[in-house]
Amino acid sequence: MSDTITAAILGVIEGLTEFLPVSSTAHVLIAGEVLGFHSTGHAFEVVIQLGAVLAIIGLYGARLAQVFCAAPHDPQARRFIYSVLLAFAPAVVIGVMAHDIIKTVLFDSPKLIASMLIIGGAILIIVDRMKITVRHEDAMHVPLHKALVIGFVQCLAMIPGTSRSGATIVSAMLMGVSKRAAAEFSFFLSIPTMTGAFAYDLYKNRDILSTGDMGLIAVGFATAFVSAIFVVKWLLGFLSQHGYTVFGVWRIFLGLLIFAYFALYT
């Protein structure tokens, strides 16, 4: 199988899993390992995430434009913008400080990835079944102090297998945000978070990426964008009816499968 086809497959996997609480990074890293795909500096796995984020911008562009246009005279619009930026802030500091450890150590540990998938899956199932009083039905009305907490919890997703969306959704739900609003806030938070990760990773790898690397990244980027559009359109309706338990079960199954695979073939 050519690297271009593999890059396209991995892009589809990224787009399908980025906004599900299952850890897109874990899926892409493990699939890449099984398919024999190794990217320079692990830049591919990080940079193609922006393709999925562009799907959010495309689907929510009109709504976000209204918010920014209203911000100069609407306190609620400004507070929403502040809430997302506040939630993004911890990732800036911790991401820059821990970047090299994350890319050189954590990304190359299948057992760690499998463990985090299983632990995160169990937490997701437990939280999904808890009876939590819902205080916030709108993602644009999440209080600033709760947004900051969500931002710190999001940083746990720097450990592959944790899931950025899973961490933000679970923490939001535990603070009384509805399942649908928690998912939407996670969508909005992904825009600055993934854009920042994209820019910083390209900067860090600017001297080692080749033209061939950039071509593969472009393929993965494009397929991630297309597949993410379908997931985002489907996800909110699914969550409203079924919740998150199915994703927790999948995480546990995949984690156990990864342990079995590497026990047998490594």
Query: Is residue 172 scored above 80 in pLDDT?
Result: yes
Higher-pLDDT residue of 181 and 233 is 181
Query: Is residue 45 scored above 90 in pLDDT?
Result: no
Give 180-186's long-range contacts (Cβ < 8 A, gap of 24+): 180/137, 180/236, 180/239, 180/240, 181/136, 181/137, 181/138, 181/139, 181/142, 182/139, 183/19, 183/235, 183/236, 183/239, 184/139, 184/236, 185/84, 185/87, 185/139, 185/142, 185/147, 185/150, 186/19
Q: What is the pLDDT of residue 166?
A: 92
Contacts with 105 (C-beta within 8 Å, 6 or more apart), sequence order: none
Q: What is the pLDDT of residue 125?
A: 95
pLDDT class of 40 with cuts at 50, 70, 90: confident
Quick one: how far is CA 99 from the chain centroid?
Answer: 16
Q: Average pLDDT, stretch 249-256?
A: 96
Q: What is the pLDDT of residue 105?
A: 57
Query: Is residue 121 scored above 90 in pLDDT?
Result: yes
- The sign of the CA dihedral 24, 30, 31, 36 is positive
In tens, the pLDDT along 123-142 reads: 999 999 998 999 999 999 99
